């Protein structure tokens, strides 16, 4: 029996999770691969896709705010825990589609999914053995060595917390120059390149912290493959697909004729 692959798109607010989720879905559909999208953000509005399974069918952020007299942040925390309470019903809804790929668009605030036990519980309940994280790196922050290292730390922490295979995805590369993209790619492939680049930054406590984080990442050997992507012409999507197939199917291509 074929087992679906779950892909979790995780990243900081504004990193492009929903846009990338929609782009992934369109690319896969054009190639005849059955996919569905699951929206796990109860506060999401004006999504660039039509979710097949929507957490908003179970949980309303506005209703939680009104009922419990909470502000937006407090309500988001409450909703994150409520997702776990409804996860069995969500799982049944997902399973009813019998798709090849399940794309999970996680809450806008990374900490709501990564740092709360409800996020780990959700992953372990849905399909812990055939799931992968697509961690989104913000291209603007990535233009400096210290900014890139700070994002790698969040990526590393996400990997540590959820304990799943992971691909780092540099989004919106059309906002970068070719030179910027070349440098960031080198940093992603060789930690020593990042460390050396940090040495050229202005001396400060921030630089010292960045140096320490860089060494920490090296010590743990957490070099995760990074794939640059852009919304234009599905740039990078096929590379991510290949990485996922290598992880779960020894590189076997499931593209239909």
Q: Copy the structure tokens of residue 75.
A: 């309500």
Q: List, in sequence order, every residue forming a beta bridge with 137; answer none if it has no partner.
A: 170
Q: What is the pTM of this model?
A: 0.92
Residue 178 lies in a domain: no
pLDDT tens digit at each of 257 positions of the chain: 467 999 999 999 889 999 999 999 999 999 999 999 999 999 888 899 999 999 999 998 989 999 999 998 899 999 999 999 999 999 999 999 989 999 999 998 899 899 999 999 999 999 988 999 999 999 999 999 999 999 999 999 999 999 999 999 999 999 999 999 999 999 998 888 888 999 889 888 888 999 888 888 777 655 678 999 998 889 999 999 999 999 987 656 655 54
Helices and strands counted in the chain (H then E)? 11, 7
Number of domains in the chain: 1
Q: Do residues 40 and 91 lie in contact, with contact meaning Cβ atoms separated by under 8 Å?
A: no
Burial class (CB in 10 A: 0-12, 13-18, 19+), 25: buried
Which tens digits make up the pLDDT trace of 214-229? 888 777 655 678 999 9
- The answer to whether residues 214 and 194 touch, using CB atoms and an 8 Å cutoff, is yes
Q: How far is CA 6 from the centre of its chain?
A: 12
Residue 9, in any domain of the structure: yes
Q: What is the CATH number of the domain that holds 65?
A: 3.40.50.300
Q: Which two tokens mark 225? A: 């493959």
pLDDT digits (tens, 9 = 90+) for 143-197: 999 999 999 999 999 999 999 999 999 999 999 999 999 999 999 988 888 889 9
Residue 19 lies in a domain: yes
Does the residue 190 lie in any domain?
A: no
In a domain, 68, yes or no: yes
Contacts of 141 by beta carbon, 8 Å cutoff, 6+ apart = 147, 148, 150, 151
Q: Which domain holds residue 93?
A: 1-129
């Amino acid at each position: 029996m074929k087992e679906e692959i779950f892909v979790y798109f995780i990243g900081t607010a504004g990193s492009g999770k929903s846009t990338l989720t929609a782009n992934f879905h369109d690319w896969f559909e054009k190639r005849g691969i059955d996919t569905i999208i699951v929206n796990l953000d109860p506060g999401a509005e004006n999504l660039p896709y039509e979710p097949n399974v929507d957490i908003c069918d179970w949980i309303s952020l506005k209703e939680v705010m009104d009922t419990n007299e909470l502000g937006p942040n407090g309500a988001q925390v409450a909703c994150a825990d409520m997702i776990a309470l409804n996860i069995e019903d969500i799982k049944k809804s997902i399973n009813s589609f019998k798709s090849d790929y399940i794309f999970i668009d996680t809450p806008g605030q990374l900490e709501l999914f990564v740092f709360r036990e409800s996020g780990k519980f959700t992953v372990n309940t849905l399909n812990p053995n055939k799931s992968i994280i697509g961690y989104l790196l913000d291209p603007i922050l990535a233009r400096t060595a210290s900014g890139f290292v700070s994002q790698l730390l969040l990526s590393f922490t996400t990997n540590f917390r959820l304990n799943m295979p992971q691909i780092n995805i540099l989004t919106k590369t059309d906002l970068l120059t070719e030179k910027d993209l070349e440098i960031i790619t080198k940093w992603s492939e060789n930690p020593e390149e990042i460390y050396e680049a940090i040495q050229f930054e202005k001396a400060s406590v921030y630089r010292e912290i960045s140096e320490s984080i860089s060494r920490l990442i090296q010590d743990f050997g957490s070099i995760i493959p990074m794939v640059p992507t852009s919304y234009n012409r599905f740039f990078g999507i096929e590379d991510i697909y290949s990485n996922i197939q290598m992880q779960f199917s020894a590189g076997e291509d499931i593209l239909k004729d």
